Amino acid sequence: MQDKKRMEELRKLINRYDYSYYVQGVSEISDFEYDNLMKELEALEEKHPEWPVPEDSPTQRVSGQPTRNFPTVRHRFPMLSLANSYDENDFSDFDKRVRGLLGEEAVVEYVAELKIDGLAISLLYEKGYFKRGATRGDGAMGDDITPNLRTIRAIPLKARGDGLPDEFEVRGEVYLPRGEFERINAARAERGEELFMNPRNVAAGTLKIQDAREVASRRLSMFCYGLYGPESFLEKSHYKNLKKMEELGFPVNPHYHLCKNIQDVLDYVRRWEEERSGLGYDIDGVVVKVNDLEQQKLLGNTAKSPRWAIAYKFRAMQAETVIREITWQVGRTGTVTPVAELEPVWLAGTRVSRATLHNIDEIKRKDIRVGDTVLVEKGGDIIPKVVEVLMEKRPPGVPPTEAPLECPSCHTRLVRSGDEVALRCPNENCPEQVVRRIEHFVDRKALDMAGFGISLVEALVRAGKVKNFADIYRLREEDIAGLDRMGEKSAANVIAGIEASKKQPLYKLIHALGIPFVGINAARELVKHFYSLDQLMAAGEEELTAIEGIGPRMAGSIVDYFKKPAIREMIAAMKEAGVNMHAKPPAAEEGPLKGKVVVLTGTLPGLSREQAREMLEKAGARVTGSVSSKTDYVLAGEKAGSKLKKAQQLGIPVIDEQAFLQMLS
């Protein structure tokens, strides 16, 4: 019983420390001490499987396995969007409309809150325990992302207090703190990866990741702004409900303010437009709501937004500086992009020395030249953009900017394809392209080769030791140890990392290849349908576009990539080196189709392809992407195409949705 008592004590302690740190912003203990407490709790729970782990135990925040997909759920109350304004005068109009609907004699108070630049989320609690979290989606329905939201330590797994209703809902904004954004980008820079553009994009992308463990590593946070539930549970005003959420243990942004009139609102807006850079997170405006909930009911909603609230959007931050130089960078796909090298200037709390210029058409449109004084704008972006040239400050005789004719790395003549605005270097052996491709290949999210930093990649490419991915697997310790800043121990670590990369899952290899338009999520989707790289290499465009989420552009890119003889030769060399090129098919479940091989084709009247695939796998079938003599059935819908013809030629039984459902029953 001593262990049980200790577990209860640890859970209370860790939950208290989480609340102090993630909600109140107070660090009571060091990270080292916190990690030791968590390890102790995990060990005790593992030691005593006979004792059920409570839902609010800190160990239950991260699930052990990736989520296969995010089911869609209906919101109990619609998640409406807010009417936006960029003009302070709109507040007076808003106030007039409110008073006109409520009556001129009505006493109206407003609550002003900071508009957090993140993602709107709904949290459902049952008996005080966090049960489900969903995205806004279309306002009526959103994606159930509960496993990912459980990793956010600012979100309580159990609400505080007694006498809680059977169900209540809390809404708020998930965001990435600036400090975490900088930490993530610093780590990416060290690995030679492309930097994330802004915290909001990282937060949005993170919530779509299907592995909660990876989500947890991003350290997202949340501010809550809405409470929904039985009337007996709610307070009479929005301001008091914000206070109530704080008492229940929810993170509420501390800067909300009760405004007695619209002038108070304007003062609040002007204050935070000036002071926003001092916050530890991004805001893009202010939200103003009628305080009295009864008045909110009387005002009601339009089809899209409530009549009792308005959002004021801040202007993007700008600064004046001078363009020292325009450089042209070569990416891994050969795209050559212009970047303005700036006289360093402070903007939104950071030192800015570079700004993206996008492409030559953008440069011509804005007439941007070296030596120009320009306004740069930063709306949360890590690389700001040039808004406009201050023509009155242009030095005399400054020549127009011309696009380079040759690649700055290999001097191959640049090309433009069709209607594309991008300039490209067509030389796939261009040293800069090779460096960028190898950087991507060895990246943590790809084949995760320990010890492979950008400087080593550049040194190996310069020395001619690595020209493609297969060359990495031919490296020996002496090839690396002889390079600058690389000794025998470092070389041994790199070789060990290369060896370990051979065992990475197939989806990581597909992502590592850098096929245009194929990111890591698309790679994960592909291995659900193709269990080896050979199967993917043999797939046609029709077969690929039949997969949900794989459009014609991506399908064409995959087919074109694997057509190239040099790519096939490189993959053959990697296979010979022992690189894993297979994915384990899902284990066949017991069912009426156990051991059967089924191909899906066409559009089914009552089932999506993913639903049909899931039902087939639950029935024990193995779903493949192409028809062969080993296929047992073809499940065909409308516009079945070539797979249906091939099945008929081979004499393979073709079934429709009705016959399929009869099989299952």
Q: What is the pLDDT of residues 441-484, one digit of tens each?
A: 998 878 988 878 888 888 898 888 999 999 999 999 888 887 87
The token pair at 386 is 């040039």
What pLDDT is recorded for position 175? 93
Q: Which whole number is the average pLDDT over 67-88? A: 78
Q: What tens digit of pLDDT does each residue of 108-129 get? A: 999 999 999 889 999 999 999 9
CB-count burial class (<10 Å; 0-12, 13-18, 19+) for 298? middle
In a domain, 644, yes or no: yes
Q: Give the Cα separation of 363 and 458 in Å (integer).
A: 30
Q: Which whole number is the average pLDDT over 495-514? A: 93
In a domain, 368, yes or no: yes
Q: Structural domain tally of the chain?
A: 6
User: Which residue out of 115, 385, 508, 596 is catalytically annotated?
Assistant: 115
CATH of the domain at 558: 1.10.150.20
Residues 339 and 309 sit within 8 Å (Cβ to Cβ): no
Is residue 240 annotated as part of the catalytic site, yes or no? no
Task: Give the other-Cβ count within 10 Å of 188's Cβ.
Answer: 16
Q: Which whole number is the average pLDDT over 380-401? A: 85
What's the pLDDT band for 183 if we cut at 50, 70, 90? Answer: confident
In a domain, 473, yes or no: yes
CATH of the domain at 26: 1.10.287.610
What's the pLDDT band for 192 if we cut at 50, 70, 90? Answer: low
- Select the more confidently predicted residue: 218 or 212: 218
CATH of the domain at 637: 3.40.50.10190
Helix axes 2-18, 31-47, angle to 10 degrees: 140
pLDDT of 167 higher than 90: yes
What pLDDT is recorded for position 473? 95
Most confident of 76-85, 169-178, 480-489: 169-178
What's the pLDDT band for 290 if we cut at 50, 70, 90? Answer: very high
Q: What tens digit of pLDDT does each residue of 155-165 get? A: 999 999 888 99
Helix (H, G, I), strand (E, B) or coil at 87: coil
Query: Which of 178, 172, 223 is closest to 200 using CA atoms?
Result: 178
Query: Which of 577, 574, 620, 621 is closest to 597 using CA atoms?
Result: 621
What's the pLDDT band for 63 if we cut at 50, 70, 90? Answer: low
Is residue 257 domain-shared with residue 133, that is, in the same domain? yes
| Percent of the chain scoring above 70 in pLDDT | 92
Is residue 333 domain-shared with residue 309, that is, in the same domain? no
Is residue 519 domain-shared with residue 544, that is, in the same domain? yes
| Percent of the chain scoring above 90 in pLDDT | 40
Is residue 271 domain-shared with residue 326, that is, in the same domain? no
What pLDDT is recorded for position 132? 92
Is residue 237 domain-shared with residue 352, that is, in the same domain? no
Domain termination site, one of 443, 471, 501: 501
Most confident of 3-7, 510-514, 528-532, 594-598: 510-514
What pLDDT is recorded for position 619? 82
pTM of structure: 0.54
Residues 58 and 18 sit within 8 Å (Cβ to Cβ): yes
pLDDT of 342 higher than 80: yes
What pLDDT is recorded for position 350? 65
Cα-Cα-Cα-Cα torsion 195, 197, 199, 200, nearest 10 degrees, comes to -140
Is residue 158 domain-shared with residue 253, that is, in the same domain? yes
Most confident of 140-144, 237-241, 651-655: 237-241
In a domain, 422, yes or no: no
What pLDDT is recorded for position 92? 87
CB-count burial class (<10 Å; 0-12, 13-18, 19+) for 40? middle
CATH of the domain at 185: 3.30.470.30
Q: If you average pLDDT over every residue of the chain, what do you get?
A: 85
Among the ranges given (59-73, 277-291, 529-543, 648-662), the one the predictor scored with the smallest mean pLDDT? 59-73
What's the pLDDT band for 310 if we cut at 50, 70, 90? Answer: very high
Is residue 161 domain-shared with residue 40, that is, in the same domain? no
In a domain, 86, yes or no: yes
Q: Which residues pair with 167 in a beta bridge?
A: 126
Q: What tens digit of pLDDT does each residue of 596-608 get? A: 888 888 878 777 7
Is residue 346 domain-shared with residue 490, that is, in the same domain? no
Residue 458, domain extent: 431-501
- Select the more confidently predicted residue: 247 or 83: 247
| Cα atoms in the Cβ-side hemisphere of radius 13 Å centred on 126 | 4
Q: Give the Cα separation of 101 and 122 in Å (integer).
A: 29
Is residue 159 domain-shared with residue 219, that is, in the same domain? yes
Tokens 């991506």 correspond to: 554
What's the pLDDT band for 421 if we cut at 50, 70, 90? Answer: confident
Domain termination site, one of 252, 281, 313: 313
CATH of the domain at 359: 2.40.50.140
- Select the more confidently predicted residue: 30 or 429: 429
Q: Which whole number is the average pLDDT over 201-221? A: 84
- Select the more confidently predicted residue: 65 or 23: 23
- Phi and psi dihedrals of 298, rounded to 5? -65, -40
Question: Both ends of the chain: CA-CA distance in Å?
Answer: 50
Residues 406 and 412 sit within 8 Å (Cβ to Cβ): yes
What's the pLDDT band for 345 if we cut at 50, 70, 90? Answer: confident
In a domain, 371, yes or no: yes
pLDDT of 646 higher than 80: yes
Is residue 80 domain-shared with residue 114, that is, in the same domain? yes
Is residue 158 domain-shared with residue 304, that is, in the same domain? yes
Q: Which whole number is the average pLDDT over 492-506? A: 92
Q: Which whole number is the average pLDDT over 531-545? A: 90
What pLDDT is recorded for position 383? 65
Q: What tens digit of pLDDT does each residue of 240-278 get? A: 999 999 999 999 999 999 999 999 999 999 999 888 878
Q: Give the Cα separation of 279 and 256 in Å (integer).
A: 14
Among the ranges given (137-141, 203-207, 216-220, 353-357), the one the predictor scored with the smallest mean pLDDT? 137-141
pLDDT of 325 higher than 90: yes
Is residue 145 domain-shared with residue 112, that is, in the same domain? yes
In a domain, 408, yes or no: no
In a domain, 573, yes or no: yes
Domain termination site, one of 263, 293, 313: 313
What's the pLDDT band for 191 if we cut at 50, 70, 90? Answer: low
